[in-house]
Amino acid sequence: METSEILKKVRKIEIKTRGLSQNIFAGQYHSAFKGRGMAFAEVREYQFGDDVRDIDWNVTARFRKPYVKVFEEERELTVMLLVDVSGSLDFGTRSRMKSEMATEIAATIAYSAIQNNDKIGVVFFSDRIEKYIPPKKGRKHILYIIREMLDFKPESRKTDIGGAMEFFTRVMKRRTTAFVLSDFYDRHDFFKQMQIANNKHDVMAIQVYDKWAKALPDVGLVKVVDAESGHEMYVDTSSKKVRVAHARYWIERQQMLKDTLSRANVDWVSVATDDDYVKAMMHLFASRN
């Protein structure tokens, strides 16, 4: 992509997503995520009714009477976007590709974070960590993130969500609010890594999908290519049997994803490329209040 074309696209996304985050998401983002992080402030003597889990045993041993740790709400959050850049995201039969939708959603979250004085960082992943952008503040940083999303060329076209979660858990030391943006086409079981990450941090999942994945239209013989393996095949969409089998496969996959995320206690939302992602995000935010 030419530099001038990238800058034009960056500007277009900035205008749209900055407006959304200012006019629509500001209050919802703040109430959904602000104050969820707790930072250690001081120790004081144990008082009746204090949670025994807050006892600082080192200080208690030193002074020979119980002391508890006092925590206060952290005034700023660190927000991480874990963005799937595997081959399957480069697909779209509607107005835009899944990768374009993911970029818009990520940019909207990024502007919401900056307005709240939060840091924002990104992990681009396929079946490896493609790029890590450490969390920072400021409009210039967001524009850099958007530019990278638009023009990033991954080394691999495959997916490993578990590997991305492991990296995220390892690299982020302080409690972090994380959004995983993916179509969740992953042949690996990532439950354990997702659960560990969410125990340490606050993880949410945003599934982006194309409606052809849900229901095949009757358009005759279609050549399809697996974007991650490169495997090609022809599918007869005029066959009702084929369309029913395809729909059943989608339902089974969605149920597996729902079970995985529910067991890991991860909030999530699913949005099609031609849907209004604003409504989906508002639903996700509202479910956390």
- Whether residue 43 is found in the same domain as residue 179: no
Question: Which pLDDT value is given to residue 183?
Answer: 94
Does residue 93 sit in the same domain as residue 133?
A: yes
**pLDDT tens figures, 249-284:** 999 999 999 999 999 999 999 999 988 888 898 888
Instruction: Look at residue 268 in the predicted model and tell me its pLDDT.
Output: 96
As for how many domains the chain has, the answer is 2
Q: Does residue 221 sit in the same domain as residue 249?
A: yes
Same domain assignment for residues 164 and 100: yes
The pLDDT value recorded for residue 220 is: 81
Give the model confidence (pLDDT) of 128-139 as tens digits. 999 999 999 988
Residue 191 shares a structural domain with residue 50: no
Show which of 73, 94, 121 is a domain's final residue: 73
Within this chain, do residues 55 and 118 fall inside the same structural domain, yes or no? no
Tokens for 250, please give them. 């989608």
* Residue 278, domain CATH: 3.40.50.410
In order of 52, 125, 217, 271, the CA distances from 94 in angstroms are: 56, 25, 13, 13
Say yes or no: 118 and 90 in one domain. yes
- State phi, psi for 34 to the nearest 5 degrees: -70, 140
pLDDT at residue number 28: 77
For each of the chain's 289 residues, which pLDDT tens digit applies?
Answer: 667 777 787 888 888 888 778 766 767 777 777 555 566 667 889 888 788 888 999 999 999 999 988 765 555 789 999 999 998 887 766 667 899 999 999 999 999 888 888 899 999 999 999 999 999 998 899 999 999 988 889 999 999 999 999 999 999 998 899 999 999 999 899 999 999 999 999 999 999 998 888 878 778 887 776 666 767 778 887 888 988 988 899 999 999 999 999 999 999 999 999 888 888 988 888 887 6
Structure confidence at residue 206 (pLDDT): 97
211 with 247, same domain: the answer is yes
- Transcribe the chain into DSSP letters: --HHHHHHHHHHHHHHHHHHIIIIIHHHHHHHHTT-SEEEEEEEE--TT--GGGB-HHHHHHHTS-EEEEEEE-SS-EEEEEEE-SGGGS--SSSS-HHHHHHHHHHHHHHHHHHTT-EEEEEEESSSEEEEEEEE-SHHHHHHHHHHHHH---S-----HHHHHHHHHHH--S--EEEEEE----SS--HHHHHHHHHHSEEEEEEEE-HHHH-----SEEEEE-TTT--EEEEETT-HHHHHHHHHHHHHHHHHHHHHHHHTT-EEEEEETTS-HHHHHHHHHHTT-
Domain of 66 in residue numbering reads as 38-73
Task: Note the pTM of the prediction, 2 decimals.
Answer: 0.81
